[in-house]
Structure 1
Amino acid sequence: MPTTYTQPRYAFRPHPGSEERAPIVIAGAGLVGLTAALDLARRGLRVVVVDEDDTVSFGSRAICFAKRSLEIFARLGLGEKFLEKGITWNQGRVFFQSREAYSFNLLPEDGHEFPAFVNLQQYYAEQWLVEACEGTGLVDLRWKSRVTGIENRTDGARLAIETPAGSYTLHADWLLAADGARSFIRETLGLAFTGQVFRDRFLIADVVMNAPFPTERWFWFDPPFHPGQSVLLHKQPDDVWRIDFQLGWDADPEREKDPERVRQRVTQMLGPDVPFDLEWVSVYTFRCRRMERFRHGRIFFLGDAAHQVSPFGARGGNGGVQDADNLCWKLAAVLRGEAPEALLDSYDAERIPAADENILNSTRSTDFITPKNAAARAFRDAVLELAEDWALARPLVNSGRLSRPSTLWNSPLNGPDEAPGQAPPGTPAPDAPVLRGETRDWLLRQIGADGGFTLLAREVTPVPLPGITTLVLTDTPRPGTLLDHSGLVAARYGLSPGECVLLRPDQHVAARFTTAAPGPILAARDKALGR
């Protein structure tokens, strides 16, 4: 098959010696492992990454990067690359048989740096992460280095590493397992997944073509070109289009991947006069499951190694990126002596509910897309019929509840909510435009930029507090402040004059205050550090 992308090949470097110790080791140089490596390096920590391959992923894989993930990548210095290369979209359309049922907008309001989603092949994101990791001088990327054994110990993990130049032992004080859905580390330690495998299969086809479709998410139920099944269409860069065909459980995966058979399906969809090439083809099965716990001593599981969801809703890759975002600031705080090791227990406390939320939404989407019996199908089709004319039916349509960041409602790190507003503790910090002097900027670019906590105060200047950067928000220009020229910051945070919001290093709200009194603010900061 022709390709629009040339896989980079990264050099294997022989490792001298038979035994080594490293403070942090990441197993897996995929999207999630590389995000974690870059995040830790941005915080000044040295990281060793081992991966059995010597390149980035094949095929487009995770293509829908949600707004929250884009904000995370912006904090890591890659946000502009996603905007420049990716396909921006906010709009989606749902079709039933031969007609449109309705359309929707995922980000109807202005005043955000990033759109609801950017479509981008996963290999681009991984390539940029590799380059950024190398640029830090703190990430030791070890390609062609396969983990063949693991021992979980009280002082870390002992890894057996196999390379083309021989084997060696690597002792990790802390291990991040981001080695994918078939995680060798998880399986070797005998840690099971619990959940559900759905009896259905989908075909992914990356199709290269010049097509008249707009840059929107289009989803068909029971279309005339694929009767009785569902189809999803997304545009990617380089004139590559992702098409997902529902196949049914009885489909033979190997037969369905035959290029000529795939061509027939695509031709039935596009018509005989639309030229195209196939770039990548795969068949997948829906899985919604997770580990019971993500932390096992000094080993942490992230991404698909920890949890799996069906792809509709773009919750897999985005959830994994948010795992890294949640864990890395905590691990850095512990290693710098700013927080007790107990802080790391909050990774389970915060990310397991987030995974459950993704699994619940993904399961409901799967049940709607693939009805289990005649009654369920009759209900689904009736909802789709009604949705064309009745807005009240549209929330019942479920072609994939698209990824949104989890609110950490019950986090043990949440502080007081003295000034209840639009962004309670546990909420991902909303973005909004600001002016710094004459320079147009974005609020989130100021939060967590130095790796620490941030206090956002409206029309009041708090006393300097250790470990906390203060941002003063004003309604009129004043030197050294952020001008809320649109009023969106105050509105999105529900901030009245004199009130303050404490924000964590991962850009989540930690606490809200009616005044800038230092005692309660420092106490909330300490609670957020697990002290």
Structure 2
Amino acid sequence: MHQPATEARPSIYYTYEVFKPWLPSQHPEQPRHRVAIAGSGPAGMVTALELARHGVPSVVLTSELQFSQGSRAICFTRRSMEILQQVGVADRMTEGGLPWRFGNSFYRGQRVFRMEAPHDPDDRFFPIINVQQQFMEEYLHDACKANPLIDFRWGNKVNAVVQKDGFAEVEVDTPEGPCTLETDWLIAADGGRSGIRSAMNLQMEGASYEGFFVIADIEIDLPFPTERLAYFDPEWNPGNTILMHREPNGIWRVDYQLPSGETPEEALRPESLKARIDAQLAMIGHAGTPWKMDWSSVYSARTLTLPDFVHGSVIFTGDAAHLLPIFGVRGANTAFQDAQSLGWHLACVVKGLAGPSLLKNHSTERVGAAREIITEAGKSTRFMAPPSAGFRLLRDAVLSLSLTQDFVRPLYHWRTSRPHEYTHSKLNSQDDDNALFKAGPAHGAPPQNVRLGDDDFLLDHLGGGFDLLYFTDAQALPAALMHVIEAARTQGMPIQVIAVGATQTVQGADQTLPDADGHLRQRYGVPGQGAAYLLRPDQHICARWLTLDATRLQSALCTALPQ
């Protein structure tokens, strides 16, 4: 019998609510579900909200009765905020978060590198915003709770999964004993220590690094801006690295690497934590500044992924599918992209708009994304925590040279998480004009946001299905194009047409966006009338044309959503 903790977790800055468990005795026997999601972290809840956005109900099963403890994921990228905007929580993230765009690297008391993330007037969101994970989970949970398509079940732990012919039988343990749930699809979003992955004997591919890092959330008043601070080879922790981030509510996050041979248990002793944090504060000129510990933990840097995310009726996502080091804010940010992709792919399968083979495309694309991130993250990890004497020798040479030589300083760059581009996706059109464009987002790229007014951006108008951006100043869409679009809609394909450039409403378009100064056309590399972009439900580009005709639109739609 599963007995989750019922005592609220301690925290200086966050008041935990203990939710009531879902008990089988209080609910009648239910039919087979379309989708069940094991796990209520960032990946699980965003997947549920994405599925609901596409009209697909789901059941969310979480073993705990409260949100996660500690800051955990705190840095969220611009693309993550764009995804969270789609599921309705970006405003709350912005209200309580700390935006930033600069990162600093220090060595021997000298700042040797300053990273500046790009930000221009066309961006609604800053490159990165800091929000503790408990708040983010609260915002996502409130959105789930308000959605009638999401059945959220606290205190329900998945114990076992048996795959049947076309569905999964899930054994769920609750505070009053086990029960069985049947679901067409089970999404394993149960984290880095995924019990479902272990039970299915699935092995990840990649590397684990020997070094351990302590995470410590402390309450302290420091006069530094919201910027990333990285300290290399400090006197109090020779050869190792320390990171610092300002968090909301008067909290600072300190991450420091453990000396070789020290165990996590030794590192988390109160006297050890105090000595290390006091030493770091002294090094930055704030010895004796009072502070309080809120939460601490230990993690190791790992770059691992499953080679396939889809196994029968079970689909892995987030940390259950891959393990990525935090350097470059990759964990939760990658999980959001996983969830956004999985949401629309699975929704199309559940609704009968495509066969299960469409999920192979989701797996191929997201495994490719994980491997790209692993390549980038591996470079950062080897610099932050050299895994061998050779890597340490190289890193130390860079540190030494950076005091006087500008050319080595960019090697400090932490390769911030960026959205994957599905350049070689099978869903991309093969007979469009992608290669002829001189600007604008190309095949597989996420969209370029564009400011349309004081508080009006292009991405505010996209989402919910496929989007066709058609650039015209005519009074109506061509009849031949409308015939193809209506035929696609008749077959169930969700597609919205947005006319760009006209000053008046364009007949046949769902929306008309004026572009008097041509700025949107310039950002998308559109030279004239009749050009178009086709965006998938996750907003990635799958086709673009300098001149669109009905035949090529029909071909692109069939490619983007194969029957």
**Shorter-chain TM band:** over 0.9
**Cα distance between partner residues in 2 of 1:7 and 1:477:** 51
Any idea what SS the aligned residue of 1:13 has? coil
CA contact (8 A) 2:34 2:350 kept: no
- C-alpha displacement at 1:486, in angstroms? 6.3
From 363, 370, 381, the counterpart of 1:348: 363
2:524 is aligned with 1:493: yes
Q: 1:460 to 1:452 in 2, by over 3 A?
A: farther
CA deviations over 1:73-93 (Å, ceiling 9, x no partner): 001111111111111011111
**Cα distance between partner residues in 1 of 2:521 and 2:408:** 34
From 447, 457, 466, the counterpart of 1:429: 447
Hey, what does 1:306 align to over in structure 2? Answer: 321
From 472, 475, 485, the counterpart of 2:499: 472
From 433, 458, 465, the counterpart of 2:471: 458
Any idea what SS the aligned residue of 1:248 has? coil
- Tell me which moved more, 223-232 or 11-20: 11-20
- C-alpha displacement at 1:515, in angstroms? 1.5
Q: 1:381 to 1:234 in 2, by over 3 A?
A: same
**Cα distance between partner residues in 2 of 1:320 and 1:440:** 28
Any idea what SS the aligned residue of 2:32 has? strand
Hey, what does 1:410 align to over in structure 2? Answer: 424
CA deviations over 1:383-433 (Å, ceiling 9, x no partner): 2344456553233224x3211000011111111440423311100111110
CA deviations over 1:151-179 (Å, ceiling 9, x no partner): 12231211011111221110110111100
Tell me which amino acid in the other structure corresponds to 2:547. T
CA contact (8 A) 1:215 1:234 kept: yes
**Cα distance between partner residues in 2 of 1:64 and 1:171:** 36
Hey, what does 1:162 align to over in structure 2? Answer: 173
CA contact (8 A) 2:526 2:546 kept: no
Hey, what does 1:6 align to over in structure 2? Answer: 15
Q: 1:388 to 1:470 in 2, by over 3 A?
A: farther
Tell me which amino acid in the other structure corresponds to 1:383. V
Hey, what does 1:235 align to over in structure 2? Answer: 246
- C-alpha displacement at 1:306, in angstroms? 0.5
Hey, what does 1:125 align to over in structure 2? Answer: 136
Any idea what SS the aligned residue of 2:201 has? coil
- C-alpha displacement at 1:348, in angstroms? 1.2
**Cα distance between partner residues in 2 of 1:18 and 1:473:** 51
Tell me which amino acid in the other structure corresponds to 2:543. A
Q: 1:391 to 1:406 in 2, by over 3 A?
A: farther
- C-alpha displacement at 1:29, in angstroms? 1.0
Hey, what does 2:309 align to over in structure 1? Answer: 294
2:226 is aligned with 1:215: yes
Q: 1:394 to 1:321 in 2, by over 3 A?
A: same
Hey, what does 2:545 align to over in structure 1? Answer: 513
Hey, what does 2:298 align to over in structure 1? Answer: 283
Any idea what SS the aligned residue of 1:341 has? coil
- C-alpha displacement at 1:18, in angstroms? 6.7
Any idea what SS the aligned residue of 1:378 has? helix
Q: 1:377 to 1:486 in 2, by over 3 A?
A: farther
Q: Gaps (5+ residues) in structure 2? A: 1-9, 487-493, 506-510
**Cα distance between partner residues in 2 of 1:393 and 1:455:** 45
Tell me which amino acid in the other structure corresponds to 1:469. Q
Q: How does 1:333-372 map to 2 (within 5 A)?
A: 333-372=348-387
Any idea what SS the aligned residue of 2:244 has? strand
**Cα distance between partner residues in 2 of 1:397 and 1:269:** 20
**Cα distance between partner residues in 2 of 1:373 and 1:52:** 39
Q: 1:256 to 1:24 in 2, by over 3 A?
A: same
Q: How does 1:93-132 map to 2 (within 5 A)?
A: 93-132=104-143
Hey, what does 2:5 align to over in structure 1? Answer: none
Tell me which amino acid in the other structure corresponds to 1:304. D
Tell me which amino acid in the other structure corresponds to 1:497. G
CA contact (8 A) 2:106 2:230 kept: yes
Tell me which amino acid in the other structure corresponds to 2:132. Q
Q: 1:380 to 1:171 in 2, by over 3 A?
A: same
CA deviations over 1:333-386 (Å, ceiling 9, x no partner): 222222222211111111011000111111111111122444433322332344
Any idea what SS the aligned residue of 2:12 has? coil
Tell me which amino acid in the other structure corresponds to 2:346. L
CA deviations over 1:435-467 (Å, ceiling 9, x no partner): 4xxx7411111111xx11111122355343234
- Tell me which moved more, 104-113 or 84-93: 104-113
Any idea what SS the aligned residue of 2:56 has? coil
- C-alpha displacement at 1:303, in angstroms? 0.5
- Tell me which moved more, 16-25 or 254-263: 16-25
Hey, what does 1:318 align to over in structure 2? Answer: 333
From 536, 545, 549, the counterpart of 1:504: 536
Any idea what SS the aligned residue of 1:155 has? coil
Q: 1:391 to 1:494 in 2, by over 3 A?
A: farther
Q: Gaps (5+ residues) in structure 1? A: none
2:97 is aligned with 1:86: yes
CA contact (8 A) 1:325 1:506 kept: yes
Using the aligned pairs only, state the percent identity.
Answer: 36
Q: 1:189 to 1:54 in 2, by over 3 A?
A: same
